[in-house]
Amino acid sequence: MSPKRSEQARRHVAVIGAGPAGLSAAYAALAAGACVTLVDSAEQPGGQYHRMLPEAYAARRPERLQHGWRAFDRRRHQVLEHPRCTWLPETSVWMLERPDPEQARERGGPPRVHLVSGPADGTGRTRCTLDADALVLAVGAHDRVLPFSGWELPGVFTAGAAQALAKGERVAVGDRVVVAGSGPFLLPVAASLLEAGSRVLAVLEANTPVTVARGWTRRPWELAAQPGKTAELAEYTVALSRHRVPYRMGRAVVEARGEGRVEEVVTARLRADWSVVPGTEHTVAVDAVCVSHGFSPQLELPVAAGCALGRRQASPSEISGHPGASSPAPSPTNEFVLVDDGQRTSVAGVFAAGEITGIAGAPAARAEGAVAGWTAAGGAPSARALRTLLRSRDQGRAFAERLARAHPVGEAWPGWLRPETVVCRCEETDYGSLCAALTDRAGADPRVVKLNTRAGLGPCQGRICGPTVAELTGRFGGPQRQVRDSTGRPVEGLAQAAPHRRPIAQPVRLGELAASPMPLEDHPPRQSHP
Amino acid sequence: MSPKLVRAEHDATSRRDRPLRITVDGEPVDGIQGQTLAGLLLASGRHAWRHGPSGAPRGVFCGIGVCFDCLVTVNEERDVRACRRRAADGDVVTTQSRTPRQDEEHT
């Protein structure tokens, strides 16, 4: 199906992220006849979903830990070994350079990609730049964890960390573990922990059975369109019941305690809005707790590229079914990259796929990636394969909506915070100081709050506490600053983007900055034009 | 009691371990090739190796390079995310602190 073209006329598509969406985008772009540069910060493709064991483990049965291994294994070989694909592992995008308007008219195309290759955070990595005809952003998401007292103790992990350690290097994070938070992701994490030999004491879903059931049983025919996902979840449920792990709904970890590390957690029953039911607290001895309250899309690259963001999923108050509940200010926690039917973002030549356009899981990410890669490569919009892809993408989006409805973040969660609860882990800013800063009228500008409390100014640059601080700011009625472009006009769709604005997307060392970067075309690790 | 590495002979993936040794604050610590520094430190029974501004201990939180809680110094390179860096035989790892009294440098 690939049109015949001379090498010069081939479009060059850069794909950032080699998880389900990125790998699929690379495959589709290659199928459409483009040259592809696939970039990922890990040594191997797969992303968080298909997290692979290190090659040094010389595992003979890696498929034992993987869902859909065969299809993934075939796809990664097809892409990485393709003569028109350049694979850049252990490579991070640290900056996207937007052309100034005049250059943009002249050169066209997406922002210039600045890359750094080599061992994570090492000195003397090599820097290069990449100018492609189209850019597909498929950078994924990370766990969103709401703060609770003691969450900064060692032994409190994100669910994603437990999963990465168990699947990616065979380390079980503890012997007695509680998995808590919200969403179906808690199930594979518990299953991985069990497989690695941990004792999982309980899986706690914060949402009540009514909320979960209402979300999942709404329009059941949509669920039938996701047989893979449904079967996968059923498998985890079987693993849990085989190990007699209780799955409790309407219960959450509201505190972690211990001397220098977590020794026990306090769980409590929650109402539909996640307010704690007094007197239902229960203490459990643990040596690890794994928490996830959903996912935060990694928006720094889309924001750096200038992509418009917006809400794709309904807000918690729309979901919880309490029409009387006060509607919280629109929060950046449910913002995603806006894309059209061809996965185009608002920026010419920039496409987005996977979790950054809405949390929908691997099958939807694959479908979106394929559409993005095909469109980015200039593939015919009338292709028959595209129609199938669009259908499965739309089914994926319906699934995402269901997920959001069944597992919303209840708006009363700050009720379990205490004044001394750490909100910003890096700077140890506590909830009391943050509230004081937010209610101080003179200082309620988000920048002033940030400088006064230091929340979001630490090494993680607000990646962890950003959504929480933004949500609390919204509730205290803080001003919503408009992001303005270079001419001072408010940028449409970017009003909420401030928490993701990081000019440096990944840490880069001063020594590395001093060395001038090589354009990738001159120094490709592997010849991309055979 | 602690995080641990699934033993190779019990590992469903049939992996083959090749040992390596690093030092952590001068103390030799054994691991296997392919482990991240975070995985190696956890499996060696360490759950914390960094101090926050108040002196509170920190170890791994996000495990995928987002939270920067697990920073260590590796062969004199500061601020290396232990969850993202593979251990290499002979690595000299020193722990870091953001507590002003112990360490004037900020990470």
Tell me which DSSP letter residue A328 carries.
P
Rounded Cα gap, residues A340 and A53, in angstroms: 36
Per CATH, A10-142+296-406 and A145-293 having the same topology is answered yes
B66 and A287 within 8 Å at the Cβ level: the answer is: no
Interface contacts A/B by beta carbons within 8 Å: 171
Contact yes or no for A512/A124 (Cβ under 8 A): yes
Nearest Cα to A208, choosing from A417, A468, A404, A410?
A410
In angstroms, the separation between the Cα of residue A32 and the nearest Cα of chain B is: 33
Residue B37, in any domain of the structure: yes
Select from A361, A369, A437 the least CA-distant residue to A396. Answer: A361
The residue written with tokens 């103390």 in the block is B27
Instruction: Indicate yes or no: CB of A57 within 8 angstroms of CB of B81.
Output: no
Which of A30, A141, A34 shows the shortest CA–CA distance to A76? Answer: A30
pLDDT given at position A330 = 39
Question: B9 in contact with A at a CB cutoff of 8 Å?
Answer: no
Q: Give yes or no for A259 touching B (CB within 8 A).
A: no
Long-range CB contact pairs, A467-471, < 8 A, 24+: A467/A144, A467/A296, A467/A331, A467/A332, A467/A333, A467/A499, A468/A146, A468/A147, A468/A423, A469/A423, A469/A424, A469/A434, A469/A499, A470/A331, A470/A332, A470/A333, A470/A446, A470/A496, A470/A498, A470/A499, A471/A328, A471/A331, A471/A332, A471/A333
Helix (H) or strand (E) holding A248: strand A247-249
Cα distance between residue A132 and residue A143, in whole Å: 31
Whether A85 and A528 have beta carbons less than 8 Å apart is answered as yes
Q: Is B14 on the interface with A (CB under 8 A)?
A: yes
Chain A residues with beta carbon closer than 8 angstroms to that of B34: 53-57, 169
Closest among A191, A198, A145 to A171, alpha carbons compared: A198
Tell me whether residues B52 and A56 touch, CB distance under 8 A: no
* Residue A418, SS3 per DSSP: coil
Dist CA A192 CA A51 (whole Å): 12
Shortest CA gap B104–chain A (Å): 15
Residue A362: phi and psi, rounded to 5, are: -65, -45
Distance from the Cα of B25 to chain A's closest Cα (Å) equals 19
Other Cβ atoms within 10 Å of A60 Cβ, number: 11
| B84 contacts in chain A (CB < 8 Å) | 41, 120-121
Query: SS3 breakdown of chain A: % helix, strand, coil, rounded to 5?
Result: 35, 20, 45
Q: Is the dihedral of CA A498, A503, A504, A510 positive or negative?
A: negative
Can you name the residues that pair with B80 across neighbouring β-strands? B72
In a domain, B60, yes or no: yes
Alpha helices in A344-444 (DSSP H): 362-376, 384-406, 431-439
* CA angle, A411 then A464 then A429, to 5°: 85
pLDDT at A200: 97
CATH class of the A10-142+296-406 domain in this structure: alpha beta
Domain of residue B63: give its range. 19-95
How many domains in chain B? Answer: 1
CA distance A379 to B79: 43
How do the pLDDT tens digits run along chain A, 530 residues long? 444 455 557 999 999 999 999 999 999 999 999 999 999 999 999 999 999 999 999 999 998 888 889 999 999 999 999 999 999 999 999 999 988 777 666 667 899 999 999 999 988 899 999 999 999 999 999 999 999 999 999 999 999 999 999 999 999 999 999 999 999 999 999 999 999 999 999 999 999 999 998 888 776 666 666 777 778 888 888 888 899 999 999 999 999 999 999 999 999 999 999 999 999 999 999 999 999 999 999 999 999 999 999 976 443 333 333 333 333 333 445 789 999 999 999 999 999 999 999 998 898 999 999 999 999 999 988 888 888 889 888 888 888 788 888 999 999 999 999 999 999 999 999 999 998 888 876 656 777 778 888 888 888 888 998 888 888 888 876 544 444 444 444 444 333 335 677 767 787 777 777 777 777 764 444 433 33
- CATH number of the domain residue B89 falls in: 3.10.20.440
Residues 6+ apart with CB under 8 A from A124: A118, A511, A512
- Look up the CATH superfamily of A145-293: FAD/NAD(P)-binding domain (3.50.50.60)
What tens digit of pLDDT does each residue of A64-112 get?
888 889 999 999 999 999 999 999 999 999 999 988 777 666 667 899 9
Please give the mean pLDDT across all residues of chain A. Answer: 85
Report if residue B84 sits inside a domain: yes
Any residues with CB less than 8 A from the CB of A128 and at least 6 apart, and which? A114, A115, A117, A517, A518, A519, A520, A523
Number of helices (H), then strands (E), belonging to chain B: the values are 1, 8
> Which of A55, A60, A143 is nearest residue B62 as measured by Cβ atoms?
A143
C-alpha A12/C-alpha A507 separation (Å) is 27
Do B52 and A142 make contact, defined as CB atoms within 8 angstroms?
no
- Kindly determine whether residue A197 and residue B62, on different chains, have CB atoms separated by under 8 Å: no
Domain boundaries, chain A: 10-142+296-406, 145-293, 413-488
As given in the structure block, the two tokens for residue A327 are 């509607």
Classified as helix, coil or strand, A164 is helix
Query: Are B66 and A142 a contacting pair at CB < 8 A?
Result: yes
In a domain, B36, yes or no: yes
Tell me phi and psi for residue A335, to 5 degrees: -100, 140
Paired residues of A10 in beta bridges: none
Residues 3-32 of A with CB under 8 A from B: none
